[in-house]
Every structure is written in C-alpha cells, then in structure tokens.
Amino acid sequence: MKVLRQHFLPADLEAQITAVGIDGVVGWLPLTATDIEAELERWSGYVKIKAVRHVLHDEPDDTYMLREDFNRGIEKLRQFNLVYDILIFEKHLPQTIEFVDRHPGQIFVVDHIAKPTGFESHQMG
C-alpha cells in the first residue's frame, strides 16, 4: 500500500498513460436525457472519448437497461462512433442479452466480465 500513499499529479498520470498506450476515455453522459443527441454532438469534438457507460449495477431497478428512454440514448451512440461499456453484475446477464439484441451494429464491452459471483472476494485476496 506504500505505493498508493503518495500524491499523484497530472504529469504522473500522463507518464503512465503514455507508457501503456492508453489513447481513449470512457465517459458518462445522461443517456436518458431528451437532448442526448445534442449532448453527444457537444462532446463529439473530443476525439479521446471512445466509449460511454452508466453504472447499471447500482440502479435499484435491475431492468433499467430496458427502459425506452435509456435505449433511445443508446441508439444515438453509433452515429458518433461510440462504444457502450456495460457495467453490470452477473445477475443482470439475462436482461443484458435482451438489451444488446435491441441494438444490432452497436459495439458493446462487458466490463469486468459482469463481476461474477465471488468476484469481490477474489479481488481482495
């Protein structure tokens, strides 16, 4: 933990990003917003933004990803060449299949392999 108990400044981050070849950012946008297309347009000039994600596993509704307003936002991502990172738990996989099937052609990434049961204990061990 000693390595973590120090100050890290932007120059430190830049050195690490360069060393490992990171050239993109996964961000958050209000995908349920009625003006999501304008938001996407606003951020489209930032070429380092490669993907968008929403912390779906923190939503109280396990079927949040099936909401019409959320899906309208997802439908707009392809025209801005954005990937959607799916941040879920294993229990969300059935509805995730339905969600992904609604968006043929959209590129999805399942973050952390959907945090399978026991994932947390392996992370700390």
The domain limits of the chain are: 23-124
State the DSSP H helix or E strand holding residue 109, giving kind and residue range, or none if neither: strand 108-110
* pLDDT tens profile 47-59: 989 999 999 999 9
Determine how β-strand 83-86 pairs with β-strand 25-27. unpaired
* pLDDT tens profile 58-105: 999 999 999 999 999 999 999 999 999 999 999 999 999 999 999 999
Give the global pTM: 0.79
Give, in degrees to the nearest 5, the angle at Cα 107 between 23 and 80.
Answer: 65
pLDDT for the residue 28: 94
Token pair belonging to 115: 């945090």
Cα–Cα dist 89/58, whole Å: 9
* pLDDT tens profile 105-123: 999 999 998 998 876 555 5
